[in-house]
Structure 1
C-alpha cells in the first residue's frame, strides 16, 4: 500500500544534506546524454514517488499501450530512491519522476533545479482522520489536545493548526512519530488522528477497514491545492533536450487520459504491470472510480470539449497554498533558516510540453 500523506516529509528531511552538496558543487550530471537501446529507442528512467498506485497509473498505461515506444522512448519505471524522487531527478539518477508542486517548491528553496512539466491532480485529496470508533472526535476542533501521528513535516502541522482554528479550536496538539503505518499508529492508541489520501487509503479504509472519520482541507480553511501531483524533470533537461521532455510528456499525458476515460481497464493494467506491489484488482478499480467520480484530474466534460487541457498546471491554486505555508513559517533553506518569501509557482512549472 502507498505510504501516507507524510511520506514526502521523510524524503525531504532525509535528503537536505545531499542536496546542499549538489547545490554547492553544481550539478555534475548531464541527463541529456540518453542512450539508445538495440531498437533505436531512447532509454529514459521514470522514478516512482512511493509504491505503485493510481497516481502513477498513466505511466504504466503509456508503457503497456505502447505510447512511449511510439514516441521513440524505452521507459524504465524504477522504485523510489531512499533520498526521494525529487533528489534523484535533481542529481540525474532519474530523467523524470512523479512528485507534486508543493515538493518542487520545498526542494527548490534548498537548491534543487527541478520543474513540474505536467500536473495530473487538479484538487486536494488529503484527508485528516481519526478512527470512526473514536467518539471523542466529531470535527477538526476536537483534534485540540489530541495526539497527531506525523512524520515531522512543518507543512502538515500548519495544515492541522489551520483546520482546528477554522473549526473554532485553539490549534494545539501533541505529536508522535508514525511507526509502521498511520493506520497501525492510530489502532494501537499511540495517536488520535493522522493524514491519508481519499483516493487510496480512504478507499482502503472503506473496503477493508478500519473505518475512518475524515475531514478535508478545503472545508476547514486551508487555501489552494496542496496535492498538485504531476511529472517533474530537471531544468537542465528542459533547456538542453526539450524534444525528449515533449515526447515523454505527450506519451504520459495520453496514458493518463486513457486511464481517466477507461478506469477499469487501466486498473487492470496497473495490477499487471506492477506485480511486485500485489495490488488487488477490486481495490485499484475502486481507487480509479473515486478519482473519476471526484473529478480529481479535471472536469471530463471540459477535457472533452477542449476548454481544459489535461495536465495543465494550476498556478493559482498552488500559489494560494504556498502563500499560506509561508505565512505559517514552514519554509526553510538548506541550513534550516526560515524563509518568509513563498516559492512562486509560475517559476516551478510549465505547460509548454502539453501541446
Structure 2
C-alpha cells in the first residue's frame, strides 16, 4: 500500500505483529504500483477518471490513492448496501491517477480523494488548497522492514549504510534517519526506487529495507511470504501519528453550499459503511472483493486484514470498537508535523524552508463528521 508520501511532485509470517507489540512497517513504494495498475483498475467501482469532476448537487467523484484495499472498504460497503442512495448522493469511484490523488483533487479531476494529513501539509506548503474532512487512521500502521532472512539487520541501527527502497521523499528520509540515529547509528543510507513490487525489489537484492503497511502488505507477508522483520517508528523516537488518513477536498470547492451538502451526505454515508465493516469484518471483506473484480484481491487477505483492523483498533480509540469517530487527533497530528518541520521536510513553492510548521487545525475540519 502506498505510504502516501509522494511529495508534491506514499514463507508466511506466523502471526501479524500487533500494534501494541510494534514490530511492523509501511510502503511508500506503491505509487509506482498504483500508476502501473491504473488502467486495470478502471472497472473497480468506476468508469475511469474524467477530465473534470462531476459537480451536480447530488454527486461526488471519489479517487482512490492506490489499488483497492481495506482502507477503502467503507466506500465499497456504502455503495453495495445502498447507503449512498439512502443519503441521496451518487458516488463515482475513480482509480488512482498517475499524477496522484492530491494533484487530481487540486486540479478538479475528482471532488474527493483518499490522502493523509501529512501529505496535505506538504502540498499546501507549495501552494495547494487541500483540507482533510474525514479521518480513518487513529493509530500508525506504517512499518519499516527488511526481509527476515537478513539476519544482519536486528535494529534500525543496522539500516546504516544499507539501501532504502523508496521514492526518496523528505518525510521518509526524516523518519528513517531518526530511527537509525536513535538506535545508535549515523543515519546514512542509500536509496533505490522500487519497481511494481517492493517485495520483489528486496528479494532481488536491489534494496535492503522498505516501508510497508501492516494492515495490507503485512497481511500479504503473513499469508504468502516473504517473511519480514519490521520496526515501528514510534519505538525509535519518531513522535505523533503519521497515518491520519482519510478524505481530502479542495478548500475552495466546499465554499459552494451545494458541494458542502453533497460532501456531508457522502461522508456520513461512508462513515456508516466503515462502521458496518467494523461490525461485520468478514462480510465487508467479501464486499470489497466483489466490488473490485479487476483488482483480483485475495479474499483471505481481505478477511485477515479486516479482522486485524478490528482486533488492533487501528481506526478507533481502542481495539474491538465497531464505530469510528472520523476525526483526527490534533495533538498527534501536530506533534508529527512539528517533527517533520524541524527536520526541514517542508518547502514552499520556491523551494525555501517554511517559516513555521504546518498547522493541523488549518489542514482539517470536523464539520462533516459531527
Normalised TM-score (structure 2): 0.84
2:302 paired residue number: 284
Report the counterpart of residue 260 of structure 1 in structure 2: 278
Change in 2 beyond 3 A, CA 1:49/1:301: closer
Number of equivalent positions: 328
1:22-101 pair list within 5 angstroms: 34-35=55-56, 42-101=58-117
Distance 2:319 2:158 in 1: 39
User: Deviation at 1:244?
Assistant: 1.6
Q: 1:289-300 maps to which residues of 2 (within 5 A)?
A: 289-299=307-317
What is residue 9 of structure 1 aligned with on the other side? 6
Residue in structure 1 matched with residue 15 of structure 2 by the alignment: none
Residue 270 (structure 1) shift: 0.3
Answering whether residue 155 of structure 2 is matched by residue 139 of structure 1, we say yes
Cα distance in structure 2, aligned partners of 1:170 and 1:219: 17
**Structure 2 counterparts to residues 305-344 of structure 1, below 5 A:** 310-344=325-359
Distance 2:74 2:55 in 1: 22
d(CA) in 2 for partners of 1:157, 1:117:
27
Pick one of 250, 253, 271 that aligns with 2:268: 250
Q: CA deviation at 1:88?
A: 1.3
**Alignment correspondent of 1:22:** none
**Secondary structure in 2 aligned to 1:179?**
coil
Match of 1:205 among 221, 234, 241: 221
Helix, strand or coil: the match of 2:6?
helix
Paired position in structure 2 for 1:274: 292
The equivalent position to 1:229 in structure 2, one of 233, 245, 257, is 245
The question of whether the paired residues in 2 share the 8 Å contact of 1:313 and 1:350 is answered with no
CA contact (8 A) 2:315 2:324 kept: no
Aligned-partner SS, 2:207:
coil
Give distance in 1, aligned partners of 2:179 and 2:318: 30
Contact kept, 8 Å, 2:106 with 2:129, in 1: the verdict is: yes
Segments of structure 2 that go 5 or more residues without pairing to the other structure are 11-50
RMSD: 2.0
Q: Quick check: 1:51–1:277 contact (8 Å CA) kept in 2?
A: yes
Please point out which of 128, 133, 140 is paired with 1:124: 140
CA-to-aligned-CA distance 1:63-113 (integer Å, 9 cap, x gap): 111111111111010111111111111121111111111111111111111
CA shift digits 1:36-87 (9 cap, x unpaired): 7xxxxx2221100111011111111111111111111110101111111111
Alpha carbons of 1:309 and 1:183: their partners in 2 closer, same or farther (altered >3 Å)?
closer
CA contact (8 A) 2:310 2:320 kept: no
Which secondary structure does the structure 2 equivalent of 1:9 belong to?
coil
Tell me, what secondary structure is at the counterpart of 2:262?
helix
Please give the secondary structure, in 1, of the residue aligned with 2:76.
helix
Aligned-pair CA distance for 1:30 = 9.8
1:232-256 alpha-carbon deviations (Å, 9 max, x no partner): 1121232213212211111111111
CA distance in 1 between counterparts of 2:168 and 2:318 reads 36
CA distance in structure 2 between the aligned counterparts of 1:89 and 1:205, rounded to whole angstroms: 32
State whether residues 119 and 314 of structure 1, in contact with CA within 8 Å, keep that contact through their aligned partners in structure 2: no
CA apart distance, 1:34: 2.5
The answer to whether the 8 Å contact 1:331/1:340 transfers is no
Partner of 1:25: none
- Identify the match of residue 102 of structure 1 among 100, 118, 121: 118
| Cα shift at 1:309 | 5.7
User: Which residue does 2:25 correspond to in 1?
Assistant: none
Q: Distance in 1 between matches of 2:114 and 2:168?
A: 22
Residue 299 (structure 1) shift: 3.1
With over 3 angstroms needed to count, the CA separation of the structure-2 counterparts of 1:312 and 1:218, relative to structure 1, is same
Contact 2:271 2:324 in 1 (8 A): no
Structure having the larger proportion of residues in helix: 1
* CA 1:183–1:351: 2 relative to 1, 3 Å: same
